[in-house]
Amino acid sequence: MGNKIIALNNETRALKQQSTPSKSASSQGKVWLVGSGPGDAELLTVKALRIIQQADLILYDALVSDEIRALFPEQTAALFVGKSKNHHSISQSALNELLVTKAAEGFNICRLKGGDPFIFGRGGEEALTLRKIGVDVEIVPGITAASGCTSYAGIPLTHRGMAQACTFITAHGETGLNLDWHALARPAQTLVIYMGLSKLPDIRRELSYHGMPTNTPAALISNGCRPEQQTVIGTLETLPELAKQHQLPSPTLVVIGEVVTLAPALNWFNTLIESEQHELSA
């Protein structure tokens, strides 16, 4: 990639030397919190792409795919501020301070997040911090993993006669899995669990204890909406073993509900990838 990827330990000096904000130093910049979607660059909104192309500085997360990063303009400084399990390149408080500082210096900032900024993306925290001190903020929604990855796996989130509701859950919370398990175990709904790969035994235990049948269909979707997407189908009971057996990497989305049974018939994306690979090898 030709764009400038700036290391965190010298980011302030490097940004001053290598980038010039589009406004004068006395003018305050603006921050766009932009959802990049679940990975496929063609799922970017037109607005998201325009902001990526026009920003003075891009701060991007770990879930922003290589395909999307390839769209960063070569002349635009780009700083990785991502987080993964047990490893944060920068703390949330330090990131908030960085956004404030760079906006005050006149930078127009594209804060690029995987999925949607307001769905388990801490976009609300960053927006509140900026608005409290008067920085202009705009939110650009993105396709969240729950809808993007399930669509590419051929799993409708709702389906007549199977699911009348859908619930998005994060398995990564401040106080652990402190959830209304009784409500989550009710039938006729789809559960989509973000960041649940390491919590599968707990998820299985709590849902089955609160009344969900252990043979409820379930799926694990890793690297959704990317060529390396992998979908593994089983049941609530078999989820932990399937994850170990297939050595699924993060990010992996957990989907539980009767709609998972539709995946074999609606598996359009894997069919497309296989067809493209066949054409290349022919």
Those residues with Cβ within 8 angstroms of residue 31's Cβ, 6 or more apart along the chain or in another chain: 99, 103, 108, 109, 111, 126, 130, 135, 136, 137, 138
The candidate with the shortest Cα–Cα distance to 106, out of 74, 73, 135, 77, is 135
Those residues with Cβ within 8 angstroms of residue 132's Cβ, 6 or more apart along the chain or in another chain: none
Q: Which amino acid is at 11?
A: E
**In the annotation, is 61 catalytic?**
yes
**Tokens of residue 75, six digits:** 């002349």
Catalytic position from the list 4, 30, 40, 61: 61
Burial label for 194, CB within 10 Å (0-12, 13-18, 19+), is buried
Q: Which amino acid is at 197?
A: L
> Quick one: CA dihedral 72, 77, 81, 84, positive or negative?
positive
The candidate with the shortest Cα–Cα distance to 129, out of 92, 91, 96, is 96
CA dihedral 56, 60, 66, 72 (to 10 degrees): -10
**Catalytic site residues?**
61, 83
